[in-house]
Amino acid sequence: MKVNKLELTVGGFVLLGLAALLVLSLKIADSQFSGDGPSYTLYARFDNIGGLKPRSPVKVGGVVVGRVEKIELDSDDFVPVVTLKMFERYGYFPETSSASILTAGLLGEQYIGLNPGFIMEDIESLEAGATIEDTKSALVLEELIGKVLFSLTEK
């Protein structure tokens, strides 16, 4: 078959472009192209969410196991309710797990650190739609300073 040089270069050009796009999606964006897989929803109530935002990660020991889907305010008792999208591939966590809002580094963004509780026979897992009971709020710098000052004056 006669190969047209022009068509060949154009074909190469298009392939190169698509390959670049593919590398960007798969390698650079850390294969989030394939999505996070199936997920289930958990809720967590915090007194103060600090700088948490939708899409902030939920981490267990540094591993991202889910993301914040949305943040709402419970209109009955005015407590923020955070909806978490948990990845099913990491399984379900025990009921005794606790969630706290932590900061990555000194100035980094905030994320939810999930501390899995002990797995025992009589303790159930957090099923889809369950609420994490044991939560620690974000540390707010002003409150922290207030506490320190208070404890200093106590002495």
Partner 1 sequence: MIQAISQLGASCLANVAALGRASMMLAQALWFIPTRKLLRDIVRQLYVVGVLSLPIILVSGLFIGMVIAFQGYSILVDFGAETSLGPMVALSLLRELGPVVTALLFAGRAGSALTAEIGLMKTTEQLSSMEMMAVDPLRRVIAPRFWAGVIAMPLLASMFNLVGIWGGFLVGVEWLGVDDGSFWSIMGASIEFGQDIGNGLIKSVVFALAVTWVALFNGYDARPSARGISQATTRSVVYASLLVLGLDFILTALMFGS
Q: Which residues bind partner 1 (CB under 8 A)?
A: 6-7, 9-10, 13-14, 16-18, 20-21, 23-25, 27-30, 32-33, 55, 64, 105, 107
Q: Torsion angle of alpha carbons 75, 76, 78, 82, nearest 10°?
A: -70
The C-alpha atoms of residue 22 and residue 17 are separated, in whole angstroms, by 9
Shortest CB 2 distance to partner 1, Å:
15
Which CB, 6 or 152, lies closer to partner 1? 6
Kindly list the strands in the beta sheet with 110-115, ordered across the sheet, starting from the edge strand earlier in the chain.
131-132, 39-45, 80-87, 63-73, 57-60, 110-115, 98-103, 134-136
Shortest CB 36 distance to partner 1, Å:
11
CB–CB of 116/87 below 8 Å? no
Shortest CB 35 distance to partner 1, Å:
9
The C-alpha atoms of residue 27 and residue 138 are separated, in whole angstroms, by 33
Which CB, 61 or 129, lies closer to partner 1? 61
Which CB, 25 or 135, lies closer to partner 1? 25
Which CB, 5 or 155, lies closer to partner 1? 5
Residue 77 has which token pair?
A: 């008792």
CB–CB of 45/71 below 8 Å? no
Shortest CB 154 distance to partner 1, Å:
35
